[in-house]
Amino acid sequence: MQRFHQILFAMSTLALCWLLMQAVHELGHVVGAWATGGKVERVVIHPQRISRTDVSPNPHPGMVVWLGPLLGCLLPLGFLALMPRDKTLLKNLAQFFAGSCLIANGTYISIGSFANIGDCGEMLRTGTPIWVMLAFGVVTIPLGLLLWHRLGSVEEFIRDPNVVSKNAARLTFAVLIMFFGVTIILSSH
């Protein structure tokens, strides 16, 4: 039964990190829109869709598009910096989340620079050189991997199912379900 709780915790954490990463990324676009006089028409964060923020009018699309990945990386790092130094479950989760955000945003912007879609297409249309987008990934991806590496060995985590308590697994799953519900309700409007 302990292995079940370990798997539940791991899967819930991964799904929650993905959804929260999208939420923080989109928050960056929203802040960018508000800061530049744009009007946010809609924010979509849904478990079955890729997130997006619709802004119209958008007087400064370059600023709005870049604040998504920038704040999508900086806010989780700031939250991690506020955590106490001792190793607690919350600190480890914050570190894993910050690493996830750095890796996801860095990969999206650097690899996406070749696909010319989504945020990357907008960055290219507003004059961002590809080398800047690649440099963003060169900085963020290794930093995210470093944060993950400092959490410890994946093999040790897999080997010892007792590293995760029943309560931690249940709480993480409950937060995931709650966040799923909120995103589905908010995206249906």
Long-range contacts of 164-169 (CB under 8 A, 24+ apart): 164/2, 164/5, 164/6, 164/9, 164/10, 165/5, 166/2, 166/5, 168/5, 168/9, 168/89, 169/5, 169/6, 169/8, 169/9, 169/12
Rounded to whole angstroms, the Cα distance separating 92 from 165 reads: 14
pLDDT of residue 169: 92
C-alpha–C-alpha distance, residues 12 and 42, integer Å: 27
Report which secondary-structure segment, H or E, holds 53: strand 52-55
The tens digit of pLDDT for each residue in 23-65 reads 999 999 999 999 999 999 999 988 888 899 999 999 999 999 9
In sequence order, which residues have a C-beta less than 8 Å from that of residue 120 and are 6 or more positions away?
108, 109, 112, 113, 133
Contact 129, 110 (CB under 8 A): no
Rounded CA-CA distance 29/31 in Å is 5
The pLDDT value recorded for residue 150 is 93
Segment 83-109 mean pLDDT: 93
How far does Cα 141 stand from its chain's mean position?
13
Per the prediction, the chain carries an average pLDDT of 93
pLDDT digits (tens, 9 = 90+) for 115-135: 888 899 999 999 999 999 999
Percent of the chain at pLDDT above 70? 99
Looking at residue 110, its pLDDT comes to 96
140-163 tens-digit pLDDT: 999 999 999 999 888 888 888 888
